[in-house]
Amino acid sequence: MQWHGIGAVARHAAIVTGISAGMLTGFPTAADVGAQPRGHSFYMTAVEFRGSTSTDKLAPPSIDPSKLSQGYTYKAPGQADSLAPRRWEVGSFQFSPSFVTAYLDDSIMLSVFIADGDHHDVQLTDPDGRVIIAKATWDRGREYTKFFQVDKVGDYHLECGIHRPSMTATIMVLPH
């Protein structure tokens, strides 16, 4: 299920505060709360970690990193900086954080902000490979917010099709 817009956020907040209010009034009891679906908000950012040096300090890698994963970038000496021809640069696209946990039947709000990379083709699948968030292009400078419930124990897999296999994130769903 997907909800959209401000109303959806308010509705999600209502789920969270509803549980809190219930705890204050003593119903449901604290022992029951562990079995109640909870609201969980996850904020991730798509980032590119970058590093650079120059050939007078360190020889460039013998294998082009971009051949190891589409999520790794490489600018060889001469390509990285025309004014500093010895300079070389590497990068790696990531979701940060790339590992979060939730409990079975939790209501999840997943909000991803794209800080680096102009385009990412992102999809979320459940532990059986069923599509939860259909693959779509997410662009730099935008925040993408999705709502879903996790009804299976195991790893939900967020992956970028452009920068696979290294640009992934896992939502690990634990049993009660």
Q: Is the peptide bond before 97 cis (omega within 30 degrees of 0)?
A: yes
Give the burial string for 64-99 (b: 16+ CB within 10 Å, else e): eeeeeebbbbbbebeebeeeeeebbbbbbbbbeeee
Task: Give the count of alpha carbons within 13 A of 169, CB side only.
Answer: 24
Residue 159, interface with Cu ion (CB under 5 A)? no
Residue 120, interface with Cu ion (CB under 5 A)? yes
CB of 141 to Cu ion, least distance (A): 14
CB of 116 to Cu ion, least distance (A): 9
Q: x/- string (CB under 5 A) for Cu ion, residues 79-118?
A: --------------x-------------------------
- Taking CB under 5 A as the criterion, the residue among 88, 163, 169, 173 binding Cu ion is 163
Residue 33 has which token pair?
Answer: 């709360």
Residue 171, interface with Cu ion (CB under 5 A)? no
CB neighbour class for 134 (10 Å; exposed up to 12, middle 13-18, buried from 19): exposed
Residue 124, interface with Cu ion (CB under 5 A)? no
CB 90 within 8 A of CB 65: yes
Count residues binding Cu ion (CB under 5 A). Answer: 6
Residue 47, interface with Cu ion (CB under 5 A)? no
In the complex, the residues that contact Cu ion under the rule CB under 5 A are: 93, 120, 160, 162-163, 167
